[in-house]
Each structure stands twice: as structure tokens, then as C-alpha cells.
Structure 1
Amino acid sequence: MSDDTLFAFPRNASGSERITASHWGLVHPQVADGRLTGLIPYAGDYAPSPNLAKLAALSYSANRIRKPAVREGWLKCRGGNGESRGSDRFVEVDWDTAMTLAAEAMTGVYDNFGPSAVFAKSYGWMSPGKVNSAVTLVNRLCRLMGGFTECVNSYSTAAISTILPYVVGMPDPKVKSWDSVLANAKCVVFWGADPLITCDIDWTTTLHEAAHHIRRLKESGIRTIAINPLKTKTGEFLGSDWIAPRQGTDTALMLALIHELITTGRADTGFLTKYTAGWETLKAYVEGRTDGTAKTAEWAEKITGVQARVIRELAQYLAQNRTMLMMGWGMQRALYGEEASWAGFALAAVLGQMNLAGGGIGTNYHYCSGGASVGFGPRLRGITGRVAPARAVKDTGTPLPVIPIARFADAFLNPGETIDFNGRKVTYPDIRLVLWSGGNPFAHQPQTLHLERAWQKPETVIVTDFVWTATARHADIVFPAATVFERNDITDIGVYNNAGLCTMQQAVHPVGEARSDYRIFSELSERLGVGDAFTLGRSETDWIRTIYEEARTSPLGRATGLPDFETFWKTGLIRYAPDKKATETDGLAAFFANPDAFPLATPSGRIELASPQIAAMHYNDCPGYPAFLGTADEALKADPAALTLMAVKSEARLHSQLGGVITDGDGREACEIHPADALTRGIANGDAVLVYNDRGRLLARARITENVASGSVCIRHGAWFDPADTSEGRTDRTGCANVLTPDTGTSRLAQGNIASGAAVFVKKAQGRQSAPSAFGQPAFSRP
């Protein structure tokens, strides 16, 4: 059967025989008169996402990018004039013009300034799919051109993924299986984790196994405890006991629990001797022999707000009952976030249950269904982004820089400045051109007004996306991309559990003049003179077939008995059987079975509760053992009117994706506030409120709830940045929480982003507030 026939649109009216994959799960697109009308979830989905209706509406949203566009000011000057980015009009052009302009700009920067002047990035959440992966295509193109300034770390896990290699020798250790936890644990602690919200999505696609296991947890009668300043959806579903420390004080609470275990003889010295290194150094700090302050329950009560009695009782209960600490990532997206991650592993080690079935600690149960059973079958390799240059490269005399992602705005503003990062020095390059595809840094990056200023510096900004995000509105050249429903592709199912393979079958034609990411980058590579090296002579459908055949003919593919490609594409889905050899998913299992034969990749081969490597860096914001160093904005928090900001995940979107599909009100984000704090400020439910500090201000709508601890407010992450100049100063009109967060690193070790913990002030907004304007089209001029 020819590819033309195989990949053709379905003949039936509904399109329900086709299947595709999204970050929210597998779906059958419903089509009428050539238009996507809805999505039916795959029957094997344990908990279909509540966001499928919004996902179906995305293709036809008011902010869809329908044609290539160029910023008017850039078009006149052919570069520079960055001060008008975000406010300038756009001119819609044909594809040939847009490609020519982009290729000329890129060639000019590569030839005149070298690859370090190019900042190429995709944050990767645009859609699943191995062929149209924005991350891969950006990297592949720019490496063929000679390279680019790269980023390391992520906005999700910068602190924890940097500190854990020093502690356990790996950045993201696999967790014990849910089956093991449910069969053996007596207590599960969700510490800064809310998996019923965060496991709604997967980096690839998902069957929502986490929801299934949480239902099993509820039925089991196992005690659950939620430690979080915010009452979580997961905690409410399970009826968990709620302990609410002040935002950013988790490390102090963990250290106090360790102190209680020491003083009551509950510290597992046998485990600590056999499996850890550095215990005596940490113990000296906890007991106060290092700094003169014992980390007692009373000490922690003053910091965390959790009663000393509760801390002591919790320590004893955890020691007496096999416990799994399910730690989320929210607490490490804060000032000194490395410390909370390290202290969590230290607490688990002192409890001594890490080597026991169902006990210990896991840091990805809340993400991509971590802990679900692993399937037996091959993973897809995809197109590689690691390629050698295919053209002459300008020699600048220095290696290409690699910077932590959360510092890129600082790099734009301060070329030549040197910072400390994970034991080395990093010098910022002079960025002239930005190529950003499939992401929205105006949602991720802290201190958005600072980013807005930094974004003015490069000469040219090229963006690929399917909707007019703030990043697209701040671009010079914009390429309209197809959505997941408007192209073909292929994907794995499940980052951690490898549940199978799925086709991503095109359901409708692209809206307007949108093109697939692969087609966009293939044509751009041709203009840049590296087309043959980029495509290897393969079309989009050629790559889909090639990627599948590589998996099918691999040893594991043959053992699995994968069908031929035509059968797979017609069937649409392959579910792997559970891997009988991988019934236990614990990444540390071999080490615990025999620590001498299977040492960890740390200098001691053990779990390092104190690290001579980190100590040798002499970072006062990240010492050689887990320590409580304070919280963000402590001077501002001395003001009795100050509240502490929490910016957590929203169940209504993926970061900012779907944020432009408005189904309720005017799209302004809620500011969740405790009744007592609302009362003292004269705020009623639904009022427009101004939330501000010295970094910026935003408008939100008040939602009064006891689910937020008094003294804190919660504004969910991902609202679309929509600034306007008002009498109060430059103000975001949608509730973009990062307007208020500091653009400083978590520490000199990870240089991660700080999403929560900032001091803010809240007051009722006065007068009539203009509605957000971010959810439609930008202004256009005629060419």
C-alpha cells in the first residue's frame, strides 16, 4: 500500500476510527464537514482529562496564527528596533517571503558573529511526536549550521536534578512501583505533590495510570498525609491529613523531624552506616554543634508555623510505620530549592526504610504516572538532534557556551558577565538572534517585566507556534505551525512506564496556511543550504515509517513481535504487556541489594548526606550538607501586610498551553486567598484585586477559600502575559504570576528558577478594569 493511501484522511464522517495522541492522553478526533468538533477519549484511559474540550477548540481559537507574519518595525529596519516588540503591528506575508527573511537573518548572524550569537530553544511541550518534535528540529537545524548557545536544566526540575547526582548519583531516580507501595506501606506522605493535577499530562502521552493507583490507595485504607501550604486536589480526594508549613520552609520541617528521630533514638543507625556517607556531618548540623542552633521542633515551629507537638508526633509516626515519602517538585522551585530536595533524601535515610518494599522516598510519582508498571517493548528513537555541522563555522576562539535556562534573560542583558554554576564559571555570550519553537518563555521565566526588557536586546527573534502567545507577539518573524490534529506523527506512550506505541493520525487540514513543524524546518534548512543533511532525503511520512521500523527490527522489537508498519498504522495503537523482569521499578534496588557490588555514582558510592564536592565549591547559598538558609524576600515579609505567593500548576492547562482557550469569564486568573486575609483587606469573592511587589503588579479575581493557608495566596502558573501601562504602573491584566517572582537563581549550584515564595501585597482594585486583550489577534498592518 502506498503512503499516499495509507496516510489519507478517513472516509467516514466522524473520523472516530482514527486515533492520535496528545499530552492529555489518547483520543479519537470527531470530524464534521472537515472541521474538528470534539475528542473521544481512548477506552483504555483510566481517567480521561477534563481538558479535552478545550484541546479540541484550540485549532479554532481566536488567537490561532493563520499566516506567516513579520513585525512591522523589524521589516522596515531588517533587524533591531526591539523596543517595540510586543506593541508593534505585524504584516502578514507569504511563506516564501517569511522563509527568505528568516534565512537571511540567520545566515548573517552565523557568518558575522558565529554560532554563540544564536540562542535556539524549544521548551518541548508543544506536542508529542517524534517527527515534529520542536526540540529536535531546532537543535538539528542549528547544529547543522554550526551550533548555538545551549541551555541546561529545566524550569521543572533545575534544583533537584542538579543536587541529586551529588546525593544518589542520578538526577531522576526511578521510584518503587505503586504495587509495592500499596502492598507494603502503612503511610503515604504527599510532600509538595498533587498528582491528580500534575499527572493529567505526560511528556509523551498518557493512559492516566496515576489516577488508577490513587483510587486504589483510597480503597486500601492506608493513611495519607499531605504536607503543603495549599490543600491539594489529591489530598481532598483521599481525605488526607493536612499539614501546612509556610511556603519555602520545608527544609526546616525536615531537619526538625530528623532532630526528633535522633533525640528519641529512632534514627536508623544501621541503615546510615551501611548505605550513607556524611551522616556525622549532617548530625552535627542538626544537633546545633555546627552553628549553635539545634534544629528542634520548637525551632521549626517558629519558622514553619507547624506546631512542635505535630512535628514530634509526625516523626514518631513515620518511624513506627512503613512510609513512602512522595515528594513533588514545587518545593525545589524556590530560593535554596536544592536544600529541600537533599533534606528529603536525608529524612528518608534517617528513617531507614529506603531499602524496604514500599518504603522510602520517590520524586516522580506526581509526574507522567511514575511508579506504574513498565511495559515490555522497544522505545522509539526518533530523529536525532545531535549532528555535526554541515557548513563552515566561524571560529570565535571560544567553546560554545552552555547556560542554565533560568538565567537566559540575565544573559541577554549582560553579555560578557560571568556567573557561578555547579562548580564552574559560565560567561554569558552576546546574543544577536533568537530561534524559539513550540514554547512560551513569557509564561516560564521569572520576573516577566525583566524578561520583557531583556527580549528587546537581540536583533532578530523568530518564533514557531500555532497561537499568538506573548512570545509570538514579541517576535519579529512568526511561522504558523499545525496542531497535533493537523499532521501525522508517531509517539511512545508514557515517559516512565513505556506502555506502548501510538500513531498520531491527521484528522483535519491545517487551519489557514499553517504547516507541520517538520515541513517548516525542512524548508528553512533548504534556504540555509543544509537541507540535504537535515532531511536525509526523507519526507515526514518517510521518517514515521523509518522510526517505527527501527523499533520493530530491534532485538526488543523482534522479541515483542511488533507487526509490520501498515498493520500498525491501520490499528493505530500497540499496548505492551507488563515486563515480567521489571516488576520492581526502583532505580536504587541493585544498590540496596549489594552496595559494594553496585555502588552509586557518587564519590563514596553511597547516599551522600554531606558532600565534600559541594563543600569545596564554597557556595554560601548551598553548603556541603542540607541546611535551612531562609526564604525569599524576608525583608519584605517583615511587613505585616505582606503575603507569600504560591504559583502552582493549574488543572486547566499545561503551563500556558490552553490558556488562550477561554471558557469562563474574561480569562483573568484567580488569586486564591484565605477568608481571614480577605476580610482584613475588604476583599469579597470575585472582586478584582491588584497583587504587587517591587518587581511588578497584576490584576486577578479573588477566590476566597480555606484551601490556602492564612498568610499565603495562590495564583496558578501559566496565565498569558498581557501588560498595560496604568496609573499604578505597568500591570499584567491576566494574572501572570511570574510578574511577581524574582529572576535570581535558586543558588549558585543549580541556578534554577524561583516560582514560589515571593512576598506580595494584595488590595482591592479600584475603578473599572480593562479586560485582558491577550486572547485574540495582534494588530496588523497592510503590507
Structure 2
Amino acid sequence: MTKKMDRRSFLKVGGAAAGVAVATVSATAIPLVGDSILQDGVDGVSASHFGAVKTKVRNGRFESVEAFEGDSYPSTLIQGLPARTYAQDRILYPCVREGYLKHGYKSDKSKRGSDKYVRVSWEKAFDLIADELKRVYKSYGPDAVFGGSYGWFCVGSLNNPQALVGRMLGVAGGYTSRTLTYSTHAIRAITPYVTGGDESSNQQTAYPNLIANSECIVFWSSDPINTNQIAWGVPDHQSYEYMKQLKAEAKKRNIKFYCIDPVYNNTAMYFGAEHIKVRPTTDVAMMLGMAHYLYSENLYSKEFVEKYTSGFAEFKAYLLGEGEDKVIKTPEWAAKICGVEASVIKMLAKEFASKRTMLMGGWGFQRAHHGEQPHWMLITLASMLGQIGLAGGGFGCAYHYSDGGVPAPAAATGNPLSDVKMGNGSQGAAASADAPAASPGLTGISVNSKVDGPWKQRKIPVIPVSRIVECLENPGREILFDGKKLTYPDLKMAYWAGGNPFHHHQDRNRMIKAWQKFETFVVNECFWTATARMADIVLPATTEQERNDITKSHTNSYIFAMKKAVEPVGEAMDDFDIFVNILRRFSAAEVLAFTEGKSKMEWIKSFYDESYNKAKKSGVAMPAFDEFWEKGFVKFETPEAAKNFIKYKTFRDNPVTNRLGTPSGKIEIFSKKIAGYGYKECKGHPTWFEPMEWLGSSVAKEFPLNLVSPHPKYRLHSQLNNTWLRDLEEVQGREPIWMHPKDAAKRGIQNGDVVRIFNKRGQVLGGAVVTEAVMEGVVRMQEGAWYDPKEPGKIGSLCVHGDVNVLIADVPTSELAQGNQATALVEIEKFKGEIPAIGIFKAPVMKGM
């Protein structure tokens, strides 16, 4: 066991960086110069992806939370914050995999996941990382280091792990990053071609306008009651008040609700929506059937199509069977594919055309093979209905998120907090996981090139975020992506911070094998996740309530002070300080480039002051920083005009002066640019492509159940799965899997049974929930359960807890987005024998301890 080091509060960086206070290695962290910590018994404001909170500290422990006063509909998820702070799987001190400590980058990579860990000092860990970075840079160059860390941990503007790891690596020597997101990979790639913008994050028609004008609302692959609990920023849950008003108004005006989804979800239950059971990944075929009926019955808006869209003629030829496939896309044709009766398809088309209809498209159906097509086709269908830009009508693809439809406040706007610019290069889309395009004036931490250095000229190459495994398997391969050609770099080292790739990536067993290509894998983490257990070097990071920071609400209605509530558990250290200490092994110039000569509190104040100055110029009142920090938040009021915002109204009013950002300036039903790419799996107009696995494929003969993997109810992806919240729905300690009664009966499965779910990619255990809320032939298992292999590190081992991504294929959506999938075909059987114990939520045994 390594001896504890002497306590030191901080070191001064020499030379040009003198005066910058940074944390140093210490067995028990103590406040830095300029840091503040709440006094025992004093409530403080903090924030998370689940909402803002008041922290309750008693006897030096973070005991409980209360919802923030401005959150009228707080999520249950905030109650997991104290529990995760003191979770049994908390990483307490720096650790190195035993084989790596002995042999370094030449160690046996197949031992990842099964090797024991050895506790080391912070000094030792920093030395190992800095030396390895220098070796890789010298031997292979900057592109060999992958710093495209992806994940949701931390809402803070300063201690944003993804931003900081990119900043540190960019200063140290360079790195390869990533672009797009697992949540919105396909929609973010396709909609700029169709409407000229990112439809996953732009402003939606405001809820008050829907409440007053909509006659029909369609939740298509969308479950906002569930997904609005969380946000990339801080949710303030205003959308729930509007949804409550919408439900009340529906009774007065007989607003019709439809849920088009394989599952009768939380939102459908709340609104009492009529359930249209569509087979997974067949929504495009259903929409084509509706489009054909609208055209053939002359129910479509010819005026809107001619005035506001481009390329309808090419799409019409495909619709009428005049294209390459010679198939007429009638409702009858669609019914055979999607499982919805032709009469229902016709009824829906007729009703949507006759009523003021809002099509709320979620993100679920774009996480599938050919996931670029559903939103393109949804926008095409909305164009044919002709209600885009009208009160209460059109389409929206971001109601799925916590600010979708919430009127925007009168706040100064700026760049995302996490945007990290490196001289002439930039992470660009890679800067954040799912960050929206604007914030109330809080800009991101950035390198302003205040000292000379090679990082000034360094550009950062990127790969599509979900292609990391394929990249490891095929260094040097050239791929098509978004109209360009990319060459996969030969990656030798990865540094992950604030993310959990062994949750969010698909085909776990393939991933484990590919991960052996890394010579070194470093992770900053708070908990012993599956990712941490695969790392060579593990550094313990602080949680959001163990450090000071600043952030905003996702609706832009608030700026929050995140006040340090308690001292870090064990030797946990802020990500900012971790990276400063690594850079200290390079030179004072690198440290200065990273810190810009500012302490952490000075950074926090600078974020606020920049927002303050922008607000002042805009005539928006904000208190000075000290007053803000004392109170804990600033609120921005919403003007009445924002409550009647209508998406694309200005475009409809004048499409000449308010052109869209497409080549034609219109909605592009046919894209000449995409057609010009010559892609096999993404044509110039929305198209039905048969998915690699669906209920109509040959694979269904062996694996006849179509698995869908929506967002969970009691966690954010994998976050909070290591708290008592999992007890609210797990079945015998396993992730629940919903099955239709007929499917369960065929297999002799009863409610509450532990079952084995499997296909050729892997196998997991789950807990059966027999319910008619899921359509026959479909099973539902939420993403985010922690991967817990019965034999750690062994490829093909049974996951005893229920990580659904063990089962899902890692095959790109198409050449355009190169995105990820979230569905698969599986078989299920009742588990026989002794049920294995869950082991993932306890820290691994340390070597010699």
C-alpha cells in the first residue's frame, strides 16, 4: 500500500505562470486559494443534469437535497445526488492496472477488465501519463492520441471534463477528436441539408401557441414526459407546466393525441393518446404510405410544396413507382412493412390534413440503420400537409428535449459553455455531447494564445463519434462521411474524461476486442464504471457538489452558482487541477496556455462578467458577481412575445427575404448535394431502405423479437445507476425488459422472471415485465444499465445486470452520417440455474490491500 503524501495546499507555477493557484497532490484535498466551501448546516445552490438543487450538509456530509425554488416540477433523479457521492464504487485514489504498472504500454492488453489495480500516488500517476503522452507524440505524432471524450457528466462551465481534456491535449501536443453525438448522430447530419439547420436543437413552436391553436398532436417516436427530466444543461422543467396546461386545454377543445411508437410510453399514458403500433425502424414506409394517399387523393398542399420546397418532382416520381425500384408506395404497400393497417394509414393522413397538426418527431427512430431517413421524411410529410409556419401546426424535432417549446427568455446569448477553441483549429461540433446552440452569455473556457507555442497552429482532426471501434480496427482506412472522405488515424492512446464508452457504444464484445489496440487508456472518473475497469490508469475526479463552478439552465432562464458543498471523498481532485498537474510535467508555458494565468474562481467570475457585460449592452439587468454568488442564481424573464413564437413563420411570411440555409433557400425534399455524393444508402430524397435487422428480415427467423432501447426513467443514460434509484424498477436486481403477454407465454416466461436475452453478438440477463404496453413481437429494454460481465474482461461473457448495448450492432447508419443504432433482433428464454450476483456496484479489490 502506497504511503500518503504530505499535505500541501497549492504550488506556484514558476516563470511566466507565477501566481496561478493550482491544486497539488494530497491525500485529503483542502480548499484552494479563492475556493469557498459551505459551512455545516448552511444550504447552498448547486446543479446537475437532473435539475438545480439546494444542498443540505450536516456533520460534514452531503446528506440530502431540496429542489431549487424555481423548479415547480422537480425530477426524482435529484434525490440520487447524495447517494452517488458516497457510493460503494466511488474511486478514492489514483490506481494503475497491475500489468501496466509493471510493463507500461507493452503490457498484456487482454488483461483489461480482469487485472487487479494498484494504488499509486498522484505524483506517480501524473508522471506516468505525461511520460506516455510524450512517448506517443514522439513516436507516432498527435493524431495517435484520441481525446474525443464523450459523455454527459458535469454541467459546470469550468470543470467540464470533455472540454478540459481536449484543452489539455491540444496544449500538450495535439489529439484526434470526434464530431456529432450518439443521441443525435443522424438528425444532425441530415437536417442541415433539408432545412439548413440542426433540427435537434433549434427553437420549437412555443407551447402556449400549441395550447391555443393545435387540434392534433402526434408523438412520433417521442416521449417528452420521460426525456424532459434531463438536459445537457440544467433542466428547470418548465415544459411540464405547459404540458399540464395542454392536457387541460385538450379536454376543452377535444385536441387529439396520437402516439406512433412500438411502445405505449409515458407521454402517451399522460395524454391518453391513441396508440398506433408501428414496427421498429419502419416509420419511413408508413410515412411514405401517408404521403402517397395525400397525393393521390389531392389532400396535400400543392401551394406550400410549390412555393416553399424544392425537389418535390423527384420525390413524387419515387412515390409513384417511377424511380429505380418501380414500387408504388401505397398505404397497402406500407402496411405490409410497418404493421399498421392501410385503413389506419389513410385515416391518419386524412385527419392530419384536415386538422391543425403538430408532428413531434423524437430522436429514437433516427438511432437506427438508415437513421437519416425518418426526420427527412417527417419534414417532407409536414411539407405536404402545408402547415409549417402556421400557428399550432408543422413539425418539431426537439420537443423531446427540456427546452423544446419553452418560450425563450430575454437573455444575452453567447457560445456554448463547453466550446474549446485551439488557435486556428477548433473542436467545433466535437466540443460538447448534446449542447444547444446558445446560452445566456456564458462563454466557454478557451485558449487565447497569450503565449507563443506550437498549439497556436495546431488543427484537430475528427472522426464520427460512433466510429471509434471501427477506427481502432481499421487504421488507415478511408471512409465516406458527410460528402467528404476521412482516413482513420492509427490510434495508440486514449484519454477519456466525463464519459462512459462501455455504456453508450454498441456491440460490447466487439468493442472489448478493439480496445486492446490502445497501448494506453487513461480515465478520469468518480466511480468504478465498466469504462474505469477497462483503463490502465484511473484518476479519481470530484463530483459536481465537491467543487465550485457556474452553469445555466437549458432553457436559458437561469444562471446558477454551483457552490462546493463538501470536501472531496478520498483523494478526488477537480479535472481542472488534474490537467494542470499533467501539463506541469511539460513546461510552465503549457500550464499558462491552459490556465491563462487565472485561478478557478477567477475563471468562474470571468464567465459571469462576460455575460454581465453582454446583458448590460442588451438592457437586461443582472447583479454583480458577488451578489450573484451569494444568492446562487440569476433569473431572466420571458417576454410575452416569445410565448407566441412559431417555428418557420418568418420563412412562410416571406421565403425570399427569409431564405433557409439550403442551396435553394427552401425546404429541400430533394437534395442535389446529397444526390451528387452518389451514396448507396442515402439517396437524394427520403427513401425506404430495408434495415439490416427488422421483423421482416431473414434474421427474424432465428431471432424473432425486435429489441428497442429507449432512454431510462430513473437515470440519465448510465448516470445514477449506482444509487438506490435502480431499486424503483429493477427486477431481481436486473434491468427490466418489457414483453407482450403472447410473446412471454410462448416462452413460458412470467412477470418477474429473470431471463436471458441473446443474439450472435452477446447475451445479457434481464427481469421480465409482462405488459401490453409493448406491441407483440417487440421487447423494450432501457439503455444505461451498467455492464457487469460474469467473467470480467472475457469476450462473450454473460452480462448479469442487463447492458442492452451488448446486443446492438455497431454498424453505421449510412455513408452520410456514419451514425449509431439502438435496435436489434434477439431471442429470450427463462434463465435456468443459480442467478449470478451483481458485482459492478462495488469497488474492485486493490492489489495488496
Deviations 1:176-224 (A, max 9, x none): 1111111111011010000111110111101101211111111011211
Which of residues 363, 366, 372 in structure 2 aligns to 1:329?
363
Which of residues 14, 37, 56 in structure 2 aligns to 1:9?
37
After superposition, where does 1:586-601 map in structure 2 within 5 Å? 586=646, 588-601=648-661
Contact 1:552 1:558 in 2 (8 A): no
Q: How far off its partner does 1:547 sit? A: 0.9
**3-state SS of the aligned residue for 2:291?**
helix
2:844 maps to amino acid: P
Q: Distance in 2 between matches of 1:449 and 1:395?
A: 40
* Partner residue, 1:313: 347
Which of residues 463, 472, 476 in structure 2 aligns to 1:412?
472
After superposition, where does 1:674-713 map in structure 2 within 5 Å? 674-713=740-779
Q: Distance in 1 between matches of 2:777 and 2:847?
A: 48
Q: Distance in 1 between matches of 2:93 and 2:673?
A: 53
2:257 maps to amino acid: T
Q: Distance in 2 between matches of 1:261 and 1:651?
A: 37
Q: Distance in 2 between matches of 1:640 and 1:449?
A: 20
Deviations 1:260-315 (A, max 9, x none): 11111111000001000011111111121213211111111111111111111111
Contact 1:377 1:556 in 2 (8 A): no
Which of residues 286, 290, 293 in structure 2 aligns to 1:260?
293
* Partner residue, 2:847: 781
Normalized against structure 1, the TM-score is what?
0.96
Q: Distance in 2 between matches of 1:457 and 1:445?
A: 16
Q: Distance in 1 between matches of 2:700 and 2:840?
A: 35
* Partner residue, 2:198: 171
1:764 maps to amino acid: K
Q: How far off its partner does 1:591 sit? A: 1.8
Q: Distance in 2 between matches of 1:357 and 1:610?
A: 26
In structure 2, relative to structure 1, the CA distance for the partners of 1:277 and 1:270 (3 Å cut) is: same
* Partner residue, 1:274: 307
* Partner residue, 1:671: 737
In structure 2, relative to structure 1, the CA distance for the partners of 1:640 and 1:519 (3 Å cut) is: closer
Deviations 1:648-697 (A, max 9, x none): 10011111111122452664211111110000000111111111111111
Contact 1:69 1:90 in 2 (8 A): yes
Whether 1:239 aligns to 2:272 is yes
Q: How far off its partner does 1:401 sit? A: 3.5
Which of residues 355, 377, 390 in structure 1 aligns to 2:389?
355
**3-state SS of the aligned residue for 2:584?**
helix
**3-state SS of the aligned residue for 2:701?**
coil
Q: Distance in 2 between matches of 1:728 and 1:166?
A: 40
Q: Tell me whether 332-341 or 381-390 shows the greater mean CA deviation.
A: 381-390
Q: Distance in 2 between matches of 1:484 and 1:455?
A: 29
Contact 1:401 1:428 in 2 (8 A): no
In structure 2, relative to structure 1, the CA distance for the partners of 1:111 and 1:483 (3 Å cut) is: same
Contact 1:254 1:343 in 2 (8 A): yes
Contact 1:380 1:548 in 2 (8 A): no
* Partner residue, 2:247: 218
* Partner residue, 2:806: 739
1:68 maps to amino acid: P
After superposition, where does 1:119-134 map in structure 2 within 5 Å? 119-134=146-161
Which of residues 575, 581, 596 in structure 1 aligns to 2:635?
575
Q: Distance in 2 between matches of 1:97 and 1:242?
A: 59
Q: Distance in 1 between matches of 2:456 and 2:68?
A: 52
Contact 2:734 2:802 in 1 (8 A): yes
Q: How far off its partner does 1:638 sit? A: 3.8
Whether 1:386 aligns to 2:414 is no
Which of residues 515, 521, 524 in structure 1 aligns to 2:582?
524
* Partner residue, 1:498: 556
Normalized against structure 2, the TM-score is what?
0.88
Show structure 2 runs of 5+ residues with no match: 1-30, 424-448
After superposition, where does 1:615-630 map in structure 2 within 5 Å? 615-630=675-690
Q: Distance in 1 between matches of 2:92 and 2:386?
A: 58
Q: Distance in 2 between matches of 1:411 and 1:5?
A: 43
Contact 1:670 1:700 in 2 (8 A): yes
Q: Distance in 2 between matches of 1:203 and 1:549?
A: 23
Q: Distance in 1 between matches of 2:82 and 2:659?
A: 49
Q: Tell me whether 658-667 or 677-686 shows the greater mean CA deviation.
A: 658-667
Which of residues 826, 837, 845 in structure 2 aligns to 1:771?
837
Contact 2:170 2:455 in 1 (8 A): no
Contact 2:389 2:650 in 1 (8 A): no
Identity of aligned residues (%): 39
* Partner residue, 2:398: 364
Contact 1:742 1:754 in 2 (8 A): yes
In structure 2, relative to structure 1, the CA distance for the partners of 1:126 and 1:731 (3 Å cut) is: same
Q: How far off its partner does 1:349 sit? A: 0.2
Q: Distance in 2 between matches of 1:196 and 1:386?
A: 36
2:65 maps to amino acid: L
Show structure 1 runs of 5+ residues with no match: none
Q: Tell me whether 512-521 or 58-67 shows the greater mean CA deviation.
A: 512-521
Contact 1:71 1:475 in 2 (8 A): yes
Q: How far off its partner does 1:359 sit? A: 0.6
2:342 maps to amino acid: A
Q: Distance in 2 between matches of 1:485 and 1:418?
A: 44
Q: Distance in 1 between matches of 2:511 and 2:97?
A: 19
Q: How far off its partner does 1:456 sit? A: 1.1
Contact 1:412 1:430 in 2 (8 A): yes
**3-state SS of the aligned residue for 1:724?**
coil
In structure 2, relative to structure 1, the CA distance for the partners of 1:316 and 1:643 (3 Å cut) is: same
Q: How far off its partner does 1:55 sit? A: 2.1
Whether 1:296 aligns to 2:330 is yes
* Partner residue, 1:99: 126
Q: Tell me whether 94-103 or 626-635 shows the greater mean CA deviation.
A: 626-635
Q: Distance in 1 between matches of 2:822 and 2:215?
A: 33
Q: How far off its partner does 1:463 sit? A: 0.4
Contact 1:401 1:426 in 2 (8 A): no
Equivalent pairs, count:
775
* Partner residue, 1:660: 722
Contact 1:256 1:311 in 2 (8 A): yes
Q: How far off its partner does 1:734 sit? A: 1.2
Whether 1:22 aligns to 2:82 is no
**3-state SS of the aligned residue for 1:311?**
helix
Whether 1:649 aligns to 2:683 is no
Deviations 1:697-744 (A, max 9, x none): 111111111111100111100111112349995211111111111111
Contact 1:113 1:394 in 2 (8 A): no
2:541 maps to amino acid: A
Contact 2:40 2:58 in 1 (8 A): no
Q: Distance in 2 between matches of 1:400 and 1:545?
A: 29
Q: How far off its partner does 1:72 sit? A: 0.7
Q: How far off its partner does 1:395 sit? A: 14
2:629 maps to amino acid: W
* Partner residue, 1:204: 233
Q: Distance in 1 between matches of 2:518 and 2:32?
A: 43
**3-state SS of the aligned residue for 1:21?**
strand
In structure 2, relative to structure 1, the CA distance for the partners of 1:117 and 1:728 (3 Å cut) is: closer
Deviations 1:93-131 (A, max 9, x none): 111111111111111111221110000023241110100
* Partner residue, 2:173: 146
Q: How far off its partner does 1:140 sit? A: 1.0
* Partner residue, 1:345: 379
Q: How far off its partner does 1:328 sit? A: 0.3
